[in-house]
Structure formats: C-alpha cells, structure tokens
C-alpha cells in the first residue's frame, strides 16, 4: 500500500506541475479556439492505438497530426488538443493520479514542441524546425514516461532497464517528422477536410496499419475461437487459459508493459499449454497422483508447444515473448523446474509472471484430482513457494494487487452471468 501511495503521489505531483507550466508557457502565445481544432481532436481520438509500420518498427501519428496545430494555432492550442485527443479509452479505468500525470505531461510535450517549432522556423527554416519540434515532443513525452517507470521499478525493486524503449523512440523521430511535414502541407493546401481525407487514405493505403489492427483485437479473438473449438472436450482448460491471461496482464501492467507488449502477453497465455494437445486425455484427466512415466510425459508439453508455435505465422515482435512463455512457464526460481532447468533471472520475466498466474489459478480452481483452495490458503501456499518455485518479487507484486484483481474478476463473472441469462431469456 505504501509503495502505491508514493507512486500515486509522484504521478499526481508531476502531472499538476506539468499542467501549470503548460498554462504559464501558453499565456506567452495565446490563440483562440478554432473549429478546425475540433477535427484535429476527433482525428487524434480516431488514431487511438493505431500506428504506422516501418522496417525498423512503428511510429505513432500523434505528432504528425499535432504539427499543423502547433504551426497555425499556436502552442497552447496544441497542448489543449493533445490533452483532449491523445488519450485511450482504457485510460479512464486507471487511477486519477495516472490520468493527471498523462494529461499534464502530454500537454507540456505539445506546448514545448510548438514553441520550439515556431522559434526555429523563424530563425532557421521549416526543415530544421520540424526535426527539432519532433525531437522535443517525443523526447519530453518519453522522458516523463520513463521517469514514471523508473519510480515504479524502484519501488517494486526490479532492474528492468528502459534503454530499449529509448532506442525504439529514437527510431521514430525521422518518420514522425516526415509525416508531420506531409500533414502540414496538406493542411495548407486542402484545409482540415483534406487532412481528414488524407488520414483516411493513409490508413487504407498502408495495409500494415489495417493488418496491425487485425494483428491485435481480431487475431486474438480468432485464436480464442479456434482454441475454444479445440478445447471443447475440456472447457475447464479454456477457462484456465483465460484466467491466466487476465492475471498475467494485471501483473504485467505493474511492470510497465506497453499496450503492444501486453497484447502479445495476452496472446501468449492462450498458447502456454498448447503442447497438451499432443498428450492423451487419460493422462491429462488422471484422477489421482501421476505415475513417474505419466509425469515425464506431462513435462514434455512446453517443448511440444514450442515446436507447435514455430509452424504458426506469428509476427516477429510477438514471437519471442510467446515462445518464452510457452517454453519456460514451468521453470522454477530455484532451478528445479523443466524443461531447461533455468534459475532466477535467467528465466524470462514474462515466463515468471505467467508462472505466478498459472500457479494461483491452479490452486484456486477445482480439478478432477483436487479441490480448490480458499483464498487465504492459496495466499499462504503462494507465500510458501515464494523464492523456491516462484520469483519472490513477482509474487510480492501479485499479492499487492490481489484485492483489486479479485474485485475485477468478480465483476467480470457477474457480467458474463448476466449476459448468459439475457441470452437464455431471449432464446425462449
């Protein structure tokens, strides 16, 4: 609880300070609200979670859409537009300090980016101005984000670095500036209506963007549907995978996983026991203690699963995290797990996260060979294997958020039950 309080206090303080600085800087270049800004806000909201694929990765269209606002409506209007438009609906589910931090820092990034553009454009020309503005916007925005992650990781006593995040951001600088220049001149010659059309045309033209959306929501939904069909003979196992995916996502959120990485994690959880498809039902549903031969057969399912996913066309950015989870989710912190006998932090973090989620759900679910443990008993057992079977830090993070997780699970279960009742009533 203390760590959460410190993090929330930090986020709220930074967000409010950023908002105050934005307002003070905005007073220097005050502009009135223009109807065009409404269209920019709508475009930014529509751009929610979309990105353009390049050979080196992805970059967001947020800065390119904000550049015309910075140039023609001023830094303050750019800050307001960014604060209202660069937001995801899921963010409203976050605690208030997170919302305050995100809105304040994105506004400050936009106002500083706008001021840099106008200053450099006057003195050194458009090309350098766009580059400097993009660097300022992306740099300030990501600096605040990485500082928040540093505080979060320090409180959680994790050592995951953010150098990779910094490098990925640096790769987006040139394409962001170039696309910003395209939107800038589109706005000059064709007004905001031409900008809307060019944005829609860009989405249609860049198939990777459309397939990127397919890569996430639709593709995961398709995988779930196919796996439900495969596991129709054992619906309990499908429910287990869904719960493990949910629990793993909640833990990963505490480790600062990006939305893209969380979606990859969610997808991976539905694959984590896919190797059991090749194991006989007689063993999987054995009602008592497994024989040594049966247990050795069960221990082969991670490697069977790893071979299985090699034949599936999974995007490269997701393949590693999926393979890590499928292959290593039964490794133990003390090195006595299987199939590789890895120990400690040699086990990939995502596999350690899924191991905790998998263990918790196995303990709290009723199986053909055992009764479900109560929540207090499951907490006691999880604490007992902390530091031997499971990563102690991941266990601590999970126990810290357990109350919120159980509350969310209860709400989901109630919603699903209500949906089933409404369907049954309508069918009659």
For residue 45, pLDDT beyond 50: yes
pLDDT at position 393, please?
94
Tell me: cis bond preceding 339? Omega within 30 of 0 counts. yes
Where do the domains of the chain lie? 2-205, 212-427
Quote the crossing angle between the two packed helices 126-156 and 62-73, to the nearest 10°. 130
Question: Helix (H, G, I), strand (E, B), or coil: what is residue 56?
Answer: coil
pLDDT band at 346; cut points 50, 70, 90: very high
C-alpha dist (Å) from residue 308 to 57, 224, 299: 26, 16, 15
For residue 168, pLDDT beyond 70: no
Quote the crossing angle between the two packed helices 173-205 and 126-156, to the nearest 10°. 100
DSSP letters for 2-13: HHHHHHHHHHHH
Residue in the block written with tokens 């549903």:
285
pLDDT band at 411; cut points 50, 70, 90: low
pLDDT at position 317, please?
64
User: If you ran DSSP here, which 8-state letter would residue 217 be given?
Assistant: I
- 155 neighbors 7 (Cβ within 8 angstroms): yes
pLDDT band at 166; cut points 50, 70, 90: low
What number of CA atoms fall less than 13 Å from residue 388's CA on the CB side? 5
For residue 24, pLDDT beyond 70: yes
Average pLDDT, the chain: 78
Largest Cα–Cα distance in the chain? 79
- Lowest mean pLDDT across 30-39, 114-123, 173-182, 290-299: 30-39
* pTM of this prediction exceeds 0.85: no
DSSP letters for 323-374: HHHHHHTT--TTS--SSS---GGGS-HHHHHHHHHHHHHHHHS-BTTBPPPP
Other C-beta atoms lying within 10 Å of the C-beta of residue 366? 10
pLDDT band at 162; cut points 50, 70, 90: low
Q: Tell which residue, 78, 65, 131, 126, has the closest CA to residue 106.
A: 78
For residue 25, pLDDT beyond 50: yes
Q: If you average pLDDT over residues 127-136, what whole number do you get?
A: 92
Residue in the block written with tokens 């480790």:
255
pLDDT band at 355; cut points 50, 70, 90: very high
Q: If you average pLDDT over residues 407-426, what whole number do you get?
A: 52
For residue 376, pLDDT beyond 70: yes
Q: Angle at Cα 327 formed by Cα 281 and Cα 283, nearest 5°?
A: 15
Tens digit of each residue's pLDDT (9 = 90 or more) over 206-260: 544 444 444 555 555 666 666 666 556 566 777 888 888 889 989 998 888 877 7
| CATH fold for the domain made of 212-427 | Hypothetical protein af1432 (1.10.3210)
pLDDT at position 18, please?
86
- Strand (E) or helix (H) holding 52: strand 51-54
- 259 neighbors 49 (Cβ within 8 angstroms): yes
């Amino acid at each position: 609880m203390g760590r959460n309080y410190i993090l929330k206090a930090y986020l709220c303080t930074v967000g409010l300070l950023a908002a105050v600085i934005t307002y003070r800087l905005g007073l220097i270049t005050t502009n009135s609200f223009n109807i065009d800004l409404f269209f920019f806000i709508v475009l930014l909201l529509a751009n929610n979670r979309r990105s353009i694929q390049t050979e080196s990765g992805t970059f967001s269209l947020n800065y390119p859409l904000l550049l015309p606002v910075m140039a023609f409506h001023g830094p303050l209007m750019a800050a307001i537009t960014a604060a209202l438009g660069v937001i995801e609906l899921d963010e409203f589910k976050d605690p208030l300090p997170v919302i305050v931090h995100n809105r304040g820092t994105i506004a400050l990034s936009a106002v500083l980016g706008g001021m840099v553009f106008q200053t450099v454009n006057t003195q050194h020309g458009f090309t350098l101005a766009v580059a400097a503005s993009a660097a300022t916007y992306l740099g300030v925005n990501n600096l605040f984000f990485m500082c928040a992650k540093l505080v979060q990781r320090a409180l959680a006593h994790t050592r995951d670095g953010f150098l990779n995040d910094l490098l990925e951001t640096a790769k987006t600088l040139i394409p962001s500036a170039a696309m910003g220049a395209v939107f800038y001149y589109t706005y000059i010659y064709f007004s905001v209506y031409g900008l809307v059309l060019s944005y829609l045309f860009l989405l249609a033209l860049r198939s990777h963007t459309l397939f990127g959306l397919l890569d996430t929501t639709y593709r995961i939904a398709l995988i779930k549907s196919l796996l439900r069909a495969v596991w129709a003979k054992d619906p309990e196992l499908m429910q287990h995978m869904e719960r493990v995916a949910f629990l793993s996502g909640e833990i990963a959120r505490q480790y600062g996983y990006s939305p893209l990485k969380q979606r990859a994690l969610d997808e991976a959880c539905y694959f984590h026991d896919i190797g059991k498809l090749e194991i006989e039902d007689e063993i999987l549903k054995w009602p008592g203690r497994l024989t040594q031969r049966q247990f050795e057969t069960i221990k082969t399912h991670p490697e069977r699963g790893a071979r299985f996913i090699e034949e599936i066309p999974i995007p490269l950015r997701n393949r590693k995290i999926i393979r890590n989870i499928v292959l290593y989710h039964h490794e133990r912190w003390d090195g006595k797990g299987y199939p590789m006998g890895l120990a400690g932090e040699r086990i990939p973090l995502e596999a350690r996260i899924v191991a905790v989620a998998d263990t918790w759900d196995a303990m709290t679910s009723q199986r053909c060979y055992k009764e479900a443990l109560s929540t207090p008993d499951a907490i006691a057992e999880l604490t007992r294997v902390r530091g031997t079977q499971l990563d102690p830090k991941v266990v601590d993070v999970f126990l810290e958020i357990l109350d919120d997780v159980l509350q969310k699970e209860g709400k989901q279960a109630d919603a699903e039950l209500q949906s089933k009742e409404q369907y049954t009533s309508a069918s009659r």
